[in-house]
Amino acid sequence: MVKRFGGYSPRMRSPLSNRRGASRLPGIAQWVLDTLGGFSSRVQNPRALLVGIAAGVLCAFIIILVVDFFRVRSLASFEPKVPTKIFDKNGVLVAELFRQKREVVPLSKIPKNLAHAFVAIEDTEFYEHFGVNPKGIARAFFINVFSGRIRQGGSTITQQLSKILLTSGERSIYRKVKEAFISIMMEIFYTKDEILTLYLNQIFLGHGAYGVQSASQFYFNKNVWDLDLAECALLASLPSSPNNLSPIRFPERSLERHKIVLAKMVEAGYVTIPQAEKAYLDFWPDYLYYINELPPTMNTWSSRIDKAPWFTEYVRRMLVKKYGEEKVYEEGLLVYTTMDLTKQLAAQKVLPPALKRQTAVSGSLAFRREDQITEQYGPLVDVFSLLFNCNPFRRTGSLEVKKVNDALKERVIDELEIINYFTGGDALGETIQHYRVGYADDKDYQKVEGCLISIDHRTGYIEAMMGGSEFTSGNQLNRSMQSMRQPGSAIKPLLYAAAMESKKFSPATAVLDSPLVYLDTEGGDWVPENYEGEYYGLLRLRKALSLSINVISIRIADTLGIEYVMRFYGKLLKLSSADTKRRVPRNFSIALGSFEVSP
């Protein structure tokens, strides 16, 4: 006897399985159908179940909309990501730091032609719909169906804005439905002008430019309020596909799209046909000439303002350490520094050529091995020249010497080194090694680097800074701040300041300049000497400092005490107590600048 429970018998087949052709379904699909059929037969009231599921989905969607409601309301205080700007002490813009290049401008500064151009090409009925345009959606649907491909979108400007600000941007029906509801809420709480202002400041327009002001500066090198009709129409041609319609990358496509935007403006009644034709014909000849000089890979990052890269990087590190990257790159800080841009530009003009000249001098003074052949094989070559009637091979720096050395370097040395590698000839290997030292090619590795820093002695403010010759990806060590060098006699004014502050010395105090000997605990001695090895007897401090006398500096440090001098150095150099003990050695050589500091 077969018992039934809830109207279901395990021997009965699901109604779905009785359909013709069901047996030919794949095994997994058949299992799903059987499971659903069995589940529906177990439920007493399938209709109630469906209503419950629908109610649950609706409640979840309503909760999501409530959350979105508060997000829409928060747009009133929305602050887009804008660059941090660094200024010099006179308020001159020095550099910008950003991830998205955006400049926010009010609608009052945006030309009417620009607003009209965007409305004409993106959303003709912007001022008439309620956030969603059913007619536009239907029109786009039929155009895309009959053309066989996607030629037109149905999204309004409000929907585009909600997609940018409040949705994930993924391609799904759920996102489109959510976007529609958010757009309706935006239309309820904000005016058309407020929505358009947000849109024009937020939209991506290619090459890293966000918003019409940033795009205007990038494409035309002018502010958005200075744009003419043709320039306004060109910016409006970009939102649908900024990279593929870029006039810099694809001028032919941009020409065609530009025509369409101007035609749409004529169709909407914003401009007349003669105005559109004149704008188009007058604009392109000069603009094509202008963009012809621009690299296709150019973007807002490569064209960013950075007039003082060494100083900018120094400030950037300080800002990131104090505020964090997000605040620095996205919240539009206004940073006013002590730098004087005029002095900074002068430093950038003077230092690199000076280092290049010094590199040439240092290279010419480097030890050469052009006489290596003449010293060891000169007599043999002279005999060879006599036997075969060749030009004499003089041992001085003659043209023949240069020719032989050039030929050896270009044609012989590498081959000889390979032979030496396999044969293991020590004498040959040593000769090759000696000869290689001093190659002109090796002198590239002897490039002289330096730094420059200008400090206002009255305030201690940095007015100019150069950390090296050129700021590049391979040369970012800021030698002004990160390289440690011994100051030498440059430390003596600080020592004399410590002497004056102690009240034990005055500029007129006479100190004996005579030989000194210090013994250490291990039986060794230290004998400080003056630079020229001369001693002058009793000297007043003002004279001793002008002559930079080493022995008198040691006597001052001895009188003051090593601890006093160390504390004074730490105070003036703004070192902590721990850094002072770590960096300043506890011996009298610190009077001569034996410890390391940055410039």
Tens digits of residue pLDDT in 160-214? 888 877 665 566 666 677 778 888 888 888 899 999 999 999 999 999 999 999 9
Domain 99-291 identical in fold to domain 484-592: no
Q: What is the pLDDT of residue 421?
A: 54
Q: What is the pLDDT of residue 22?
A: 41
Q: What is the pLDDT of residue 308?
A: 94
Whether 489 is a known active-site residue: answer yes
What is residue 16's DSSP assignment? G
- Domain extent listing, the chain: 99-291, 367-437, 484-592
Q: Which stretches of 397-467 are DSSP H helices? A: 399-407, 413-423, 426-436
Q: Residue 260's closest CA among 114, 111, 119, 121?
A: 121
- In one-letter notation, the amino acid at residue 591 is A
Q: What is the pLDDT of residue 335?
A: 96
- In one-letter notation, the amino acid at residue 382 is D
Q: Residue 196's closest CA among 285, 107, 122, 275?
A: 107
Q: Strand, coil or helix: what is 540? A: strand
Q: Which residues pair with 452 in a beta bridge?
A: 466
Q: How far is the C-alpha of 208 from the C-alpha of 100, rounded, in Å?
A: 7
Q: Is residue 84 very low, low, confident or very high in pLDDT (cuts 50, 70, 90)?
A: very high
Domain 99-291 has CATH 1.10.3810.10: yes
Mean pLDDT of 108-120: 95
Contact 152, 139 (CB under 8 A): yes
Q: How far is the C-alpha of 578 from the C-alpha of 570, rounded, in Å?
A: 10
Q: Which residue has the higher pLDDT, 241 or 421?
A: 241
Q: Which of 96, 122, 179, 187 does the annotation list as catalytic?
A: 122
Q: How far is the C-alpha of 287 from the C-alpha of 243, rounded, in Å?
A: 18
Q: Residue 248's closest CA among 306, 305, 302?
A: 302
Q: What is the pLDDT of residue 184?
A: 84
- What superfamily would CATH give domain 484-592? DD-peptidase/beta-lactamase superfamily (3.40.710.10)
CA 522 to centroid of chain Cα atoms: 55
- In one-letter notation, the amino acid at residue 238 is L
Residue 57 has pLDDT above 80, yes or no: no
Edge to edge, the sheet with strand 84-87 lists 93-97, 84-87, 334-336
Sort strands 452-455 and 462-466 into parallel, antiparallel or unpaired: antiparallel
Q: Which residues, other chains included, contact 543 with Cβ-Cβ below 8 Å and sequence gap of 6+?
A: none
User: Which parts of 413-572 are beta strand (E)?
Assistant: 452-455, 462-466, 510-513, 518-519, 525-526, 537-540
What kind and span of H or E run contains 151? none
Residues 454-480: tens digit of each pLDDT: 999 898 899 999 999 989 888 889 998
pTM above 0.75, yes or no: no
Whether 23 is a known active-site residue: answer no
Q: Which of 303, 454, 489, 502 does the annotation list as catalytic?
A: 489
Q: What is the pLDDT of residue 440?
A: 47
Q: How far is the C-alpha of 13 from the C-alpha of 6, rounded, in Å?
A: 15
Mean pLDDT of 39-64: 61
Residues 357-408: tens digit of each pLDDT: 888 777 665 544 445 555 555 565 566 566 656 555 444 444 455 555 555 5
What kind and span of H or E run contains 101? strand 101-102
Sort strands 452-455 and 84-87 into parallel, antiparallel or unpaired: unpaired
